Amino acid sequence: MTYKLEGRTAIVTGAGSGIGLATTKRFLEEGAQVVAADLDISAIAELDGTVTAVEVDLRTDGAERMTEAALDMSGQIDAMVCCAGVAPTREGLASTLDEDVKNTFDVNVLGIMRCARAVTPHMVSKGKGSIVAIASDFGRMPEPLFYDYCMSKAAVLSFMKSLSIEFGPQGIRANCVSPGATRTPIWEKPGGFIDLLAKLYGGMDRDKVVDHFAKEHKKFALQRIGEPEEIAEVAVFLSSDRASFVTGSDYWVNGGSIPVY
């Protein structure tokens, strides 16, 4: 499927790896110009297409700087996909400290709010735009190993719904994509979710952890976890005119990890 994004300008946060990098690549394949923003932009330099890498921290002035970069690139902002986030693992309530929760919310929730505040005036002036936030199925089905992450993603779902109500009359669509377990650095990095699961599974070999998690622990309908490209495809679809009547929605892309009733 082609989304006909030639001549469009998109901003992607968290573009240096995982879902954000996959989303950036997909926009470029569709002919869009992309401002790719992250703390680490080294992987973005290797991409082909019209892409501007911007090193940003969404806890400070990152939203304003990447908005300025997009306007310098083309004078317009057609779409934004907010992929930046943190997902620290906890050992339960006792290890979920106030400062840690504040940091998670600063990135996962306030980061998206800052991005929306920065781009909506420019979308309003054009009378059209799309904002997509990467939420999570944990936003509806919490997990004590991720107390603050789950709380933050529930907040993202609420914020984006409010955004869709306020700005829908002005032509701006706001939607979420809620991935299930997806093979990203959050899983694979040392001390990440794979290592945590290996410990929970009694020292299971890392190479067997993901398969056991998908087939035996969570019993996903598709018997596997997702790939970043599978999440990116839905995010880019929602950013295109093919989703012109979709707003205030949350697309679950989780391989059947949560029954939908």
Structure tokens at 43: 């992987």
Are 144 and 177 found together in one domain? yes
pLDDT at 1: 58
Are 176 and 195 found together in one domain? no
Are 236 and 216 found together in one domain? no
Are 43 and 61 found together in one domain? yes
Are 72 and 170 found together in one domain? yes
For 125-134, the pLDDT digits (tens) are: 999 999 999 9
Cα separation, 79 vs 74, whole angstroms = 13
Residue type, 30: E
Query: Domain range spanning residue 203?
Result: 183-225
Q: Does residue 1 lie in a domain region? A: no
Quickly tell me which residue has 């998690």 as its tokens.
213
Structure tokens at 61: 């002035």
Torsion of the alpha carbons at 82, 249, 238 and 63, rounded to the nearest 10: -20
Are 129 and 176 found together in one domain? yes
Q: Does residue 261 lie in a domain region? A: no
Q: Using alpha carbons, list the distances in angstroms from residue 70 to 36, 93, 119.
A: 10, 41, 10
pLDDT at 259: 58
**pLDDT tops 60 at residue 260:** no
Q: Does residue 122 lie in a domain region? A: yes
Between vectors from CA 80 to CA 7 and to CA 41, what angle results, nearest 5°? Answer: 95
For 195-235, the pLDDT digits (tens) are: 888 888 999 988 899 899 889 888 889 999 999 999 999 99
Question: Does the active-site annotation cover 149?
Answer: yes
pLDDT at 261: 40
Catalytic residue among 3, 147, 149, 251: 149
Tally the domains of the chain: 2
Q: Provide the mean pLDDT of the chain.
A: 94
Q: What is the pTM of this model?
A: 0.94
**Residue 76 confidence class, pLDDT cut points 50, 70, 90:** very high
Are 138 and 82 found together in one domain? yes
Q: Does residue 72 lie in a domain region? A: yes
pLDDT at 54: 97
pLDDT at 142: 83
